[in-house]
Amino acid sequence: MLYELLKPVIGVALHWYYRSILTEGIERVPKDGPVFLAVNHPNALVDALVVGYAVPRRVHFTAKATIFANPLATTFLQAVGVVPLRRASDESKAGASSASPADAERNAASFEAVADALAKQGAIVIFPEGKSHDLPQLAPLRTGLARMTLQAYQAHGVRGVRIIPIGLLFERKEAPRSRVLMQVGEPIHVDPLVDAGISVATLTQLVTARLAAVTLNFDSPSDAERLQRVGGTLSALLEPTPSVAEGTPSLGRVLELLRRLDRVHSTLRARDDAELHTRLDGFEARVRAFGTRLDERGIDPHDLAISAQAAAGMRFAVREATLALIAAPIGFWGRLTHFAPIQLARRLALRNVQALDEPAMRTLVVGLLLVLAAYIVQTAVVASLAGGWWALAFFLTLVPSASSDLRYGDRTRRARDRARAYFAFRRDPALQGALLAEADAIRQDAFALERLAAER
C-alpha cells in the first residue's frame, strides 16, 4: 500500500527536477515472473527513484544492511520492499572482519532474502557496480548479482529468472530541468546458462556486456567532455528543426549519435594513419569552433533553419502570446506558492557538494520535506482565514500549478532562444546563409568520416 502511494509522489518530484524522463525498450521488462533489473549507478538515490517510477510493475530494491540499524527506518524500508544486503566494505567500516563466520551467516541470510523474493515472482533492482560514481564509463561489476542468480537457481530451485540490463543516461544529472533516458537492453535468460554450467565470472562478463550496450562508456573524462560537446552540436545539425514545444531532439537520438561518434572516433584512432588522425582532429575542432561561434551570438543550433520571414515571426508571436495569456497566470500561482521551499531546498542541497551525484539527490529529499511542510502551513492558513472548503480548493491547485510553472518555463526559454535567432537573422540575412552553409559542410564531413570508419 505504501509503495503504491509513494510512486506518484516520487513521479511528481522527479518531474519537478528533471524536464523529461523517457524510456526505451520498456516492453522488455516482463509483467510478471522472477527478474533482476541490473542498473548502472551514476546518480545515487535518484537512480532507484527513476527505476521505481518508470518500471510498470512493483519492484524490490537492494540496499546496504547498515541503513536498517534504525527501527523506524527498518519499518519504512520493509514496507516499500527493500531487501538488505551485507557488503564486505560495510562490515570493514563497522570494524568487523569480512571473513568472520558471523559475516558469512549474514551474507547467506541476505542471499536467502533475495532468493525468497525471486521465488515469489518478484522483480529486484540491483546496482552491480556497487556504488554511485561520476566515472565516464561503467565501473567494474561486482560478482554479487551472478552469485545470487546462481544460488537462487541451484540452492532454492527458482526457475525462469531473467536479468534485464537497464541503462540510465542523465543529460546533466546535477542540473535541474535537464533530461533523463532509461534504456532497457536485451534480457539474459538464466536457466539455459546455468544448465550449461556457466560460472560466476562468465555470467558477470555477460551482464557487463549487456549493460555496456545501454550506457555511454568513454575512455576518459576528457574524451567524454569532448565527444559530448561535438555530439551535442552534431545532433542539432542532423535533426529536423524541432517545434518550440519539443525543445530539442529526443535524448534517445542524441545517445544514438554519441555512440556512432564514439565508434567512428575509436575506429579511426586505432588505425596507424597520421593523416587520418589529423583529419579527425580537424573535424572535431571545426565542430567545436562552430558551436562556440553560435554560443557567442546566442543562437541555438536547433534554430539555424527557422524561417526569418515576417509572416513566420508574426505567427510565432501570436501563438506564444495566446499561450502566455492562458499559462502565465497558472504558472505565476505555482511560482508564488512554491518559490520559497524550492529555492531553500536548492540552496541547502548545494552546500558542501563534493560529487555530481549529490545535488539532485539532496534537492529531491530536502525539497520533498520542505514542500510538504509548506503545503501544511499554507493550507492551514487558508483554512483559518476562509474555511475548510476554500482550503481544500487551495490545496488541489498546488501540484498542478507548480507543474504548469515548470513546463511553461521550459517553453519560455526555448521561445526566447528562437526569438533571439529570428531577430539575428532578420538583422543580418547573410548570417543565416553562412551558418547553414557551414552546418552543411560539417554534416558532409561527418558522413565522410563515418564511411571511412566503415571501410576495412
Per-residue pLDDT reduced to its tens digit, 125-158: 999 998 999 999 999 999 999 999 999 999 999 9
Those residues with Cβ within 8 angstroms of residue 150's Cβ, 6 or more apart along the chain or in another chain: 194, 198, 200, 203
Nearest Cα to Cα of residue 286 among 250, 216, 220, 237: 237
Residue type, 194: V
Residue written as grid cell 518508470: 54
With residue 315 as reference, give the H or E element that holds it: helix 310-349
Q: Would you state the pLDDT for residue 180?
A: 96
Q: What is the pLDDT of residues 4-46, one digit of tens each?
A: 889 999 999 999 999 999 999 999 999 999 999 999 999 999 9
Average pLDDT, the chain: 91
Distances (CA, A) of 114 to 110, 303, 311: 6, 51, 63
82 vs 102: CA distance, rounded Å? 22
Please give the single-letter amino acid code of residue 70.
Answer: N
- Phi and psi at residue 196, to the nearest 5°: -85, 0
**Which of 152, 154, 26, 136 minimizes the C-alpha distance to 83?**
152
Residues of the chain with pLDDT under 70: 86-107, 456
Grid cell 505555482 in the structure block, residue: 334
Q: pLDDT for 277-334, tens place per residue?
A: 999 999 999 999 999 999 999 999 999 999 999 999 999 999 999 999 999 999 999 9
| pTM of the full structure | 0.90
What per-residue confidence (pLDDT) applies to 72?
Answer: 75
Alpha helices in 213-270 (DSSP H): 221-238, 251-269
pLDDT of the residue at 98? 46
Q: What count of other Cβ atoms lies within 10 Å of the Cβ of residue 58? A: 13
Strand positions, DSSP E, 148-211: 162-170, 179-184, 188-189
How many residues are listed for the chain in this entry? 456
| 81: three-class secondary structure by DSSP | coil
C-alpha cell at 13: 518530484
Cell of 245: 514545444
Q: How far apart (Å, rounded) are the C-alpha atoms in residues 292 and 231? A: 14
Q: Which residue has the cell 574524451?
A: 223
